[in-house]
Every structure is written in structure tokens, then in C-alpha cells.
Amino acid sequence: MAEDQQIQVTVVGSSNVDITALMNRLPGPGETVLADSYQLTPGGKGANQALAAQLAGAQTEFIGAVGEDEHSAIALGQMETAGVQLGRVIRSQEPTGVAIISVDSHAENSIAVVSGANASVDAAAVRNAGELHGVLVLQGEIPAAGITAAIAAAKDRVVLNLAPVITLQRGDFLAANPLVVNEHEAFEALKQLDAAAAEGLEENYEQLARQLLAQGIGSVVITLGGAGCLVAEMDAAGQAQLSQVAAMKVNAVDTTGAGDAFTGALAAHLAAGETLSEAADFANRFAAYTVQHPGAQASYPRDLSQL
């Protein structure tokens, strides 16, 4: 359809309602801590990334699943307001997914996710959705078979965010261009591809990037929090080229959803034709804005002139 041809980024992934409790410190095992307040807000890595891509300038479609319940309107609300296309979202008999988030006074968080309807985004559901247009963005909160089916249907480059870490087929990793991971996720990805090559590299992100490229992955972006990110690509001569992209120095209030903001913004600027390093620089600035504001989707910039 003509409408489909306008899509620059398609995100196949999860949509949740975040139940966020704000507290002075996170509880330890077996401990109860009194929280100051709580709120219900839209979340889910896929939905977060779709909203970020849309706000970063790309016409975006989100394909996922929500339940036939009161949480579904919350889960889709921010995306709908921003103009993300939602016509192929599945209505599942399972409840809308929920993330239970604790955030302390230092902006650190812990998150537990109940998949709910997100488990419906399996291979059959993705195949039934049909063609996937523009840059395809995937992450680990839907079944692995759904990821494989989405990659098979991709018409453009694939941005694969291995978060959370799940077991994928080798071909899924090799389709990534880029693979977007933090240091822990990079190590776990390499373990899946070549456990021997991963030995001793858990805290060496540059060598992790080189080894991931050596496995045949098209490009890698390793996010480093306040230190920015590492961009790794093969040059025309087949040599690994690594470059560090610095982050803005900001006072973080809440890091929830910042990684998703980065991934969505990165995809949007790749869809606009920027190089990976250029897109990563913009994504760093986009994510830096978000951590200065509370919440996940609510923290994403609506005015890019603020970046």
C-alpha cells in the first residue's frame, strides 16, 4: 500500500505498561522498602524504540501485541499521539505485558517483566503481518522465533538490540547491521556465537567488538552509559574500524528507557541515510536528554531543538 511505502522504520517488539515505584534505595534480597510514589506509564522495549524513532524524525510503524484490557490504551497511548502507525498491532487474549520497575534516588533501577500478550508476537504472527518496510528494529522481549521471522521478512537493514539477552540463531546475529548491545550483552552474544572466543573478554569491550565483527556481524554498537558508545565496522579492506562516540555530560534523574531511546533514535537516523557514527552521535544526545527526566516514554524529547 502507498501508506506502507512511507514507513522508514518498523519496530517489531514488545509493548508494556510500566508500574514504576520511586524510592530512596532499591531493596536487597528478602527486604521490603517503602516507596515514595508509583505511576502507570507506557513502556516495553519495542514500544519505547518505536516512539523514539518517530520522535527522532522517522515515520515509524510498531508491530506487537496488547491484551483486550484496560492497560492496552496506556501501552499504545504515547505512540498513537506521536503518530506511530499501529494498524498491525495484535489484540491478544493474554493480558497486556507489565514491567515492574523500582527506581532509587541515584537513578538506578531494577526491572521485572511479565510478558503477557508479547508472547503472541511469534513466528506465525509476524508472518501474518506481511512485509516489513524500512529499517527493521528488533529486541529480546518477544519470542526468538518471531525475531527470526521478522528478519526473514525485512526489506532493509536490521537493527538488533539483544536486550534482554535471549538465545538466537546464528543467522539472526549475522543479519544485524548493527547489533546494539551493552558490555554484558556483547559478551553474552559472543558466547552464543563462539564460547571459546569470549573467554576472558567480559570486561574488554573493544576486543568484544572486534570478535563480534570477526564472527561476520555487519556492524556493532556497544553502549557505555555515561561514556557514550563504541562503533565498530569493517572497512572496505576487511579491517575492523573502532571509534568511540562521546556522551554528553548530564545529571541523570532516571535511566529507565534510555537504552531504548538510543536504539530508536539510532535507527531513525540510519533510515535518513546517516553513517553509523553520525547516527550514534545523535542517539547519544537523544538518550542524554531522556535521563534528565523521569519515566521512559514520557522523558523522550518532543522538540529536537532541545538536544
Domain assignments of the chain as residue spans, ordered by start:
2-297
For 251, residues 6+ apart whose C-beta sits below 8 A from its C-beta are 292
Class of domain 2-297: alpha beta
Q: What is the pLDDT of residue 216?
A: 96
pLDDT, tens digit, 9 for 90 and up, residues 195-237 = 999 999 988 999 999 999 999 999 999 999 889 999 999 988 8
Peptide bond into 164 cis (omega under 30): yes
Q: Are 173 and 215 in contact (CB under 8 A)?
A: yes
Q: Are strands 229-234 and 135-139 parallel, antiparallel or unpaired?
A: unpaired
Alpha helices in the chain (DSSP H): 2-5, 45-55, 71-82, 123-129, 144-153, 170-175, 183-193, 195-198, 205-214, 258-271, 276-290
DSSP class of residue 98 equals E
Give dist(CA 3, CA 70) in Å, integer: 29
- The helix (H) or strand (E) run that includes residue 242 is strand 240-245
Q: Are 101 and 260 in contact (CB under 8 A)?
A: no
19 has which bridge partners? 40, 100
Smallest Cα–Cα separation from 39: which of 112, 97, 103?
A: 103
Catalytic residue chosen out of the listed positions 172, 254, 260, 281? 260
For the chain, the straight-line distance linking the first and the last C-alpha, in angstroms and rounded, comes to 34
Kindly report the CA angle at 188 between 150 and 136, in degrees rounded to 5?
20
Give dist(CA 194, CA 211) in Å, integer: 9
Positions in the chain whose pLDDT score sits under 50: 1-4
Give dist(CA 223, CA 280) in Å, integer: 10
Q: What is the pLDDT of residue 255?
A: 81
Q: What is the pLDDT of residue 1?
A: 39
Query: CB count, 10 Å around CB of 177?
Result: 18
**Catalytic (active site) residue 260:** yes
Q: Which 3 state secondary structure label does DSSP give 273?
A: coil
Q: Are 124 and 23 in contact (CB under 8 A)?
A: no
Q: What is the pLDDT of residue 2?
A: 43
Model's pTM, two decimal places? Answer: 0.92
Query: The cell 519515566 sits on which residue?
Result: 295
Q: What is the pLDDT of residue 171?
A: 97
pLDDT, tens digit, 9 for 90 and up, residues 86-110 = 999 999 999 999 989 898 988 788 8
Q: Are 133 and 10 in contact (CB under 8 A)?
A: yes
